[in-house]
Amino acid sequence: MDLREKIEYVWNNTKILRNVEKNLFTFGDTALPYFLVAELVKGNPSTFVREGEVIIKRPLIYTPYQDTPHFKGFGEKEKEYSSFIIHRMAYIPPYTYQNASKSFYISSDNVEETSARLSKRLDEEGNNLTAIINTMMDMWEVSVMRYSIERMVKSLPSNITELKERGFLS
């Protein structure tokens, strides 16, 4: 599989196991915390778990030259992945998408059990802002980019409504 096929495969096969219905802030930065879960080795019940957060930052001033988003903290292949996604997969507003991995560990349980345990823990903590995303271990960056873009797209209607209410759109 070439890089294009792998990116498309991961993009299409990323599963949001615990979705969050959080809209991005219209006038400020938004944090999107997540847990990634991935099968460590095919056929082995162990699961790789990565905890992280993407901060989506809107520019303070829009200029005519500011037409592409900026991805930061998405690993060694961030430029390759983001360039492909920007040019072939989706329109993305020119925000800064800053990823920060907080921790990672190996669970001896399979992906389903690990996800269920994480979801239960988040529920017990009253945390309804953290997503759980199932991905491929070697291309987790694409899944986090997809999740961030999806949250941004789903936020557009409420962001547009807020802009209208404040008189920015007539």
- Output the CA–CA distances (angstroms, integers) from residue 148 to 14, 45, 85, 164, in the order listed: 12, 28, 12, 24
The pLDDT, as a whole number, for residue 149 is 84
The pLDDT, as a whole number, for residue 25 is 62
The pLDDT, as a whole number, for residue 64 is 58
Please name every residue paired with 36 in a beta bridge, in sequence order, or none if there are none. Answer: 50, 133
How confident is the prediction along the chain (170 residues), in pLDDT tens digits per residue? 788 899 999 999 999 999 887 766 666 788 899 999 999 887 788 999 999 999 988 765 555 556 678 889 988 888 888 888 888 766 677 788 899 999 999 999 999 999 999 999 999 999 999 999 999 988 999 999 999 888 877 777 776 677 677 776 76
Segments making up each domain of the chain, as ranges: 3-165
Phi-psi region of 157 (alpha: psi -120 to 50; beta: other; left: phi over 0): alpha
Contacts of residue 42, Cβ cutoff 8 Å, sequence gap at least 6: none
The pLDDT, as a whole number, for residue 43 is 75
140, 34 contact by CB (below 8 A)? no
Collapsing DSSP to helix, strand or coil, 65 comes out as coil
